[in-house]
């Protein structure tokens, strides 16, 4: 690279721009593509092989980013479930999720239990939760529903697709 910065430094700099997920996604793919092209040029003079290496590195970077995003979403779901699990029906509690990895903005909201569902040996609850954000300096609130179930002493997210608008294609 012309500036002499290692590829890892560029990737880290891209990840630290956590407020803009699309920039992180595209930046990660672009940095991986550049790194893959540099690697391919060092390995071969064949254009087709170089293109394959570049595309492979870019695909691996995208898969790694999506894996990390799924883990962050699971952490958020687990936090909401842990707060909602012991709540009496109709009571409202606050939840928040902050992330050490700046791929996702910190979020907060409220959660309430709407009803008990399940059967013998299967304790589940339907919940409604809000996500509070600020868009162009204006507070916004969105509402979603989900199901949680008790797994021993832990409450876990049980909805396969709580809301595709909320979680996207990363289910």
* Span 124-159, pLDDT tens digits: 999 999 999 888 889 899 999 999 999 999 999 988
- pLDDT for 58 equals 74
Do 42 and 22 share a domain, yes or no? yes
Q: What is the pLDDT of residue 71?
A: 77
Is residue 49 a part of any domain in this protein?
yes
pLDDT tens figures, 16-72 = 444 445 545 555 555 655 665 566 666 666 767 666 767 777 777 777 777 767 777
| C-beta atoms surrounding 4 within 10 Å | 6
Whether residue 52 sits in one domain with residue 114: no
Please give the pLDDT value at position 111. Answer: 97
Query: 62 and 87: one domain?
Result: no
Does residue 155 lie in a domain region?
A: yes
**153 and 123 belong to one structural domain:** yes
H or E segment at 148?
Answer: strand 138-151
Task: Supply the range of the domain harboring residue 63.
Answer: 7-71
| Token representation of residue 16 | 């630290």
**Are 42 and 92 in a shared domain?**
no
pTM of the model: 0.62
> For the chain, how many structural domains are there in total?
2
Do 63 and 98 lie in a common domain? no
Q: Do 161 and 96 have their domain in common?
A: yes
Sheet holding 92-97, edge to edge: 92-97, 107-119, 122-135, 138-151, 154-157
Residues 114 and 136 in one domain: yes
Same domain as 91, residue 64: no
Same structural domain, 121 and 65 = no
Please tell me whether residues 14 and 67 are part of one structural domain: yes
> Which pLDDT value is given to residue 11?
47
Q: Quick one: 67 and 108 in the same domain? A: no
């Amino acid at each position: 690279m012309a500036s002499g910065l290692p590829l890892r430094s560029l990737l880290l700099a891209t990840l630290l721009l956590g407020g803009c997920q699309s920039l992180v996604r595209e930046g990660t793919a672009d940095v991986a593509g550049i790194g893959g092209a540099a690697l391919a040029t060092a390995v071969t003079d064949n254009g087709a092989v170089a293109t394959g290496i570049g595309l492979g590195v870019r695909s691996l970077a995208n898969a790694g980013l999506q894996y990390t995003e799924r883990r962050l979403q699971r952490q958020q779901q687990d936090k909401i479930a842990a707060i909602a699990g012991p709540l009496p029906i109709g009571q409202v509690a606050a939840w928040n999720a902050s992330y050490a990895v700046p791929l996702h903005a910190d979020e907060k909201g409220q959660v309430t239990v709407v009803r008990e569902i399940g059967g013998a040996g299967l304790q589940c609850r339907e919940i409604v939760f809000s996500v509070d954000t600020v868009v162009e300096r204006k507070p916004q609130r969105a509402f979603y529903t989900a199901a949680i179930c008790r797994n021993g002493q832990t409450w876990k997210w049980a909805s396969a697709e709580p809301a595709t608008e909320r979680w996207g294609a990363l289910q």
